Structure 1
Amino acid sequence: MKNIKILIVDDMEDLLDLYEVVLDSKFDATILRATSSIEAIEALSSHENINLIISDLNMPEGNGDKIIYYNTQNNKIPFILCTSENIEALPKELKQEIENSNNYLYLQKPVASKDILFNVEKLLNAKIPSSEVEINSVTYKKIKIDFLTKFLNDNANIYLKLSDKKFLKIIHKNELQRESQLIKYQLRGESYAYITEDDYEEFISKLTVKLTQELEASSSFEDVVACASEGLEFINDSLKTLGISEPQKVYINKVVNKSIKHLSQNNDLSRLLKDFYKKKGYLVGHSLLIVHISQLMITKIPFSNTQQLEKITYAALIHDLSLGEDKLSMIVDKDISYEDLDHKEKSKIDEHVFESAKLINEMSFISPDVSKIIIEHHEKPDGSGFPKGLKSSQISPLSCIFILALRLSHFMIFNDYEKDGKSYLEFLKQNYNKGNFKNPLKALITALDS
């Protein structure tokens, strides 16, 4: 079998790197990459003669089952589903497809490199050209120079292939000091270098451990939030007071977990979120209450949709992320509590809406509406809010939903809602029943009265 093409699909770029390193080291094949089902289907429709697909299941911008459906209807290419999901937890139709077809295999993450190679050979059921070269009982393994500069430290001799029988050592073990030592060979037109099989085994072992740890950390992120919310009694009390049902709690948890997974694609943002949600205080509590209260409103607003809640959820998770502490997150207005802060703390309050919005500006799958909500979440209908002093007709409708949810959640955390809730709703009616706040406020009142 010649001119092998393998499409690998995962929303974690480092896992794609691992798959490519493993496949390149053994097979002489062209590796195509995609980070979503959309990109994968585009690759399948634009590239001829793809021989194999290795794909994750849960991804933003379209899950792997969409790729399976497209493949079943069109190409019928051998397929390895590589996911952290237990096979028993897969959708019934997908599980049956895997179990009843010789064209599909299932591997549960984390996957050992030998299992990837074994199953590729098993599915393709043919002799695949090897990329390995053996000279004088020494086996050389091919690796992209890009990956050597990214992952390899100084624990291997590195070679260039001059011919099938001759290799040139370009860097000695323990002498790789700078990326430029390898990049200069790329500039000369070299895409690949080689390391011996013994060095490769150590290299791939360390790389697999590193990526497995990252995978486990990212997959447990929702547990961090779940533990945080479970440790906050006032959240559970508030949800009971608002009459929020168990099915709605489950639904909101799914939306929050999905949003966290998407945001965690950015490593810096992932670290910030984890540190943030370990705190189990006001920061976490009011953020999660905002999502629940927003959902109450959205269900009562005509022509509302799930995309609105997803945008609000992103905003709720991020809006105070740059503050990092309860004391500052509790500042809703520039009132006495704001005036009691020192100059540095005031400056942090003033800038946090822009700093938090910046965190997601480069994430293409997040709508600009989310940044707008974050920037506007301290505005007020009469123009006395900050940072821009917008009036009710200038504040976006989604921001109005968020602002009402934020203010009600803040009130519920510090007050007895059953005793003082009616008077607070009267306050909202008197001060927020104008401009773009009218429909969200009406929806909130209707939801709380029902």
Structure 2
Amino acid sequence: MDFATSENGNGNGNAIGDGEGHSAPGPVPVFGARFRTEPAALYRELRREHGEVVPVLLDGGVPAWLVLGYRELHQVTSDPELFSRNSALWNQWPRIPDDWPLLPVISRDQPSILGTVGERHRQRATLIGEAMEAVDPLELRGHAERFADELIDAVCGVGAADLVAQYAALLPVRVLAFLFGFREEHGPGLVAALNDILDGQERAVAAERYLRTAMARLVAERRERPGDDVVSRLLAHAPAYEVTVEEVTHDVMVMLAIGHQPATDWIGNSLHLMLTDDRFAASLFGGRSSVAEAMNEVLWEDSPIQNAAGRWTTRDTRLGGRVLGAGDLVLLGLQGANSDPRVRADGSALTGGNNAHFSFGHGAHRCPFPARETAEVIARTGIEVVLDRLPDLDLAVPATALTRRASPWLRGLVELPVRFTPTPARGT
């Protein structure tokens, strides 16, 4: 890499290079509090000080590049030959300890679809897409409504609830666990493990072990007793794509992780927007036309997946005026690219029917369409059930009192306390 600090261990000093002999401010810690509290202002500041490709430090002072530019991110995600998904290329592996908290997210040995490239990736993506595409959207919505109603039944008579902890954090994993073939009693443990992994803190490694064990148990059960579920379909069709049972196990774990928490945050962030923005007030009192608009605006302005890891350069190259070395780690600044002023003329919202955001990724490794459709059905159903069931919904605390999860990857609320007129349970 062409930047370093004293903790990098390669003795290049505190400045960074722009490839033109100039110096610039040093790298930015990705785990800083401002990534959680004021990302929009932070991205503007980073652009002003560093440009569209920002030198950053991961946990332990490990260097990487964060791409904030829309055009630059499009370039990275469109060129898998130069910006590979093969994490074994990383030039920092010799300094990564065995207990590094980001190993569940950035792993050297990535046996899931996230670590595959080329034709092998296409095969596994096709297998997953076919297994997910077999889920009927109407049946999916019915399952989501049933679980949503059960969760609302638990709070509707009280007149107050935390729509994150008691609702949004539970709904997607319950729906996905049902689709995958999990028994319902496994839901709480899966939620806790997924949150610990994606927060990237000290409990992440142990949580990944728990999740791996749960997935292996599920796959073993579905091999012995196939059913009408996603995992059974993956196992049935895997031989045709030369995908092993172990690979299916890893892919199911990725599918659950990527499917659950972003959908949770999509629900929470959309409800937050509708509760705090007067443009959506009518939806809180019986209207539904604005739900899709709110959800799309969140994907532009408050994306559940803020940053993603990552891509690794296969050779020395230039990007956004920076000189990147072979094996450098490139982080995908999805929210930063969505807010790039070069594609947001005059601060335009670019919402409504505009889906050119990066919130589902781009290129060969983007989120498969059936998976995106599943997440949208779960999130939209979850929001609409809340609005249908809880009259006079309002925030129970000032909007400024709400806090966000301490994660550089995901942007979601820790809690969303609301009050409403108590109503009887439906007993569905």
The structure with higher relative contact order (CA 8 Å, sep 6+) is 2
TM-score range, shorter chain: under 0.3
Normalization by structure 1: what TM-score? 0.23
TM normalised by structure 2 equals 0.24
